Structure 1
């Protein structure tokens, strides 16, 4: 699952960069970006409940794959936002959407045999964007690169928070 870990680490890095830039964003907000970065992979539910099983239970044709498109991600994001108090929904929507977009951008960069990425815009468009052909989902270097970046940002955030807390305490 190096692919999912990469998405989470990139989501953490983006969320941390946003929290460093905007003081009103706290660590919980970073988690929202990470949730967004992982949400398109909800189609992996198929490993537990296959398409055929769900189709048999409901008696209708079924597939988990549309969850890994922008439209499916938008629907999941909309459902997640409904779980939050109304006065926080705009911020939650924006942060989860940032994570979702980062996930799809990373997936577009995958090496594919056809040279084309998956149908990101399905069911609106069947067009497949040319693949970035940068890495395979089984490669280790994206995890190492995103992990290094996340570790660096974690250290910067921790140092900044400790410096801020030291400046707030009055001298003896």
Structure 2
């Protein structure tokens, strides 16, 4: 859960700071970017529903593992853009940017074999070496992200 909250807070901080520069990036679009930061973690639905159950419901082979790839988040952002608003292109871009912020942050975490996941699929199967900056279960990462997001929140309201 700390990993999920970390990604949402990071998206909030990143897109709120970007909204200071871009007028069109309103609070609504910042919230949509935060939703986009959740998209790669939809693969966690596998904890509740098995792939076999989804395959029987959909009638086609299906796996949730692709959700944490560029291809998966592009597909999910496309679905979200169609469902979300009348401004489909802008919604797609903001959802995708939020999801990419998640994937980029995940590309920095520590893995046992020293290489990141195949998050670049379908572009390539290459697993780049990671700088092993953090472990996703480390509460220090959540605390640091919370401090940054809180500082942005206070700066937004001119309380600092």
| TM-score > 0.5 by shorter chain | yes
What is the alpha-carbon distance in structure 2 between the residues aligned to residue 66 and residue 103 of structure 1? 14
Matched with 2:152 is: 153
Matched with 1:123 is: 122
The answer to whether the 8 A contact 2:70-2:122 is kept is no
Aligned Cα root-mean-square deviation (Å): 1.7
CA deviation string 1:119-143 (max 9, x = no partner): 1122342111112211111111111
Task: List gaps (5 residues or longer) in structure 2.
Answer: none
CA deviation string 1:125-164 (max 9, x = no partner): 211111221111111111111100110111111128xxxx
The answer to whether the 8 A contact 2:37-2:98 is kept is yes
**How many residues are treated as equivalent by the alignment?**
159
What is the alpha-carbon distance in structure 2 between the residues aligned to residue 147 and residue 3 of structure 1? 12
Q: CA deviation at 1:25?
A: 2.3
Please, what TM-score do these two structures have when normalized by structure 1? 0.85
Please, what TM-score do these two structures have when normalized by structure 2? 0.91
SS at match of 2:83: coil
What is the alpha-carbon distance in structure 1 between the residues aligned to residue 79 and residue 58 of structure 2? 21
What is the alpha-carbon distance in structure 1 between the residues aligned to residue 97 and residue 135 of structure 2? 23
Q: CA deviation at 1:59?
A: 5.5
Structure showing greater radius of gyration is 1
Task: List gaps (5 residues or longer) in structure 1.
Answer: 161-172
Runs (4+) of structure 1 moved beyond 4 Å? 56-60
